[in-house]
Amino acid sequence: AQSVTQLDSHVSVSEGTPVLLRCNYSSSYSPSLFWYVQHPNKGLQLLLKYTSAATLVKGINGFEAEFKKSETSFHLTKPSAHMSDAAEYFCVVSESGGGSQGNLIFGKGTKLSVKP
């Protein structure tokens, strides 16, 4: 069975400092991994996705994530936080095969706060 664990429910950083949001996954098959962002009263937006190509994935707004199979991790990073990055972030796993139909399995979310 596939699952996702986001290791921090809340992360607070100062503007201009690095961001690290941690995610571990469990999957029986070759997974696709995603990070989505949800701003208040707005829909979910895809930041980036890993689909078995390059292990270092670059996304929108300066975010990137590294797929580490040996550690079953897919942590999200950004070198310098901006006030507009304050939002809820979801790590997501999806797999084809084994009866799954490409449905997304979400973590519980990490709320990112950015202090001026």
Partner 1 sequence: ETGVTQSPTHLIKTRGQQVTLRCSSQSGHNTVSWYQQALGQGPQFIFQYYREEENGRGNFPPRFSGLQFPNYSSELNVNALELDDSALYLCASSLDGFYSYNEQFFGPGTRLTVL
| List of E strands, 15-72 | 19-21, 23-26, 31-38, 44-50, 56-58, 64-68
Do 111 and 40 meet the contact criterion of CB atoms below 8 Å apart?
no
Q: How far is CA 87 from the centre of its chain?
A: 12
Member of 76, 90, 112, 114 binding partner 1 (CB under 8 A): 90
Residue 42 lies near partner 1 (rule: CB under 8 A): yes
The distance of closest approach from Cβ of residue 1 to partner 1 in the complex, given in angstroms and rounded to an integer, is 11
Q: How far apart are CA 20 and CA 86, in angstroms?
A: 13
Member of 12, 17, 51, 80 binding partner 1 (CB under 8 A): 51
The distance of closest approach from Cβ of residue 43 to partner 1 in the complex, given in angstroms and rounded to an integer, is 4
Chain contacts with partner 1 (rule: CB under 8 A):
31-32, 36, 41-46, 49, 51, 90, 94-96, 100-109
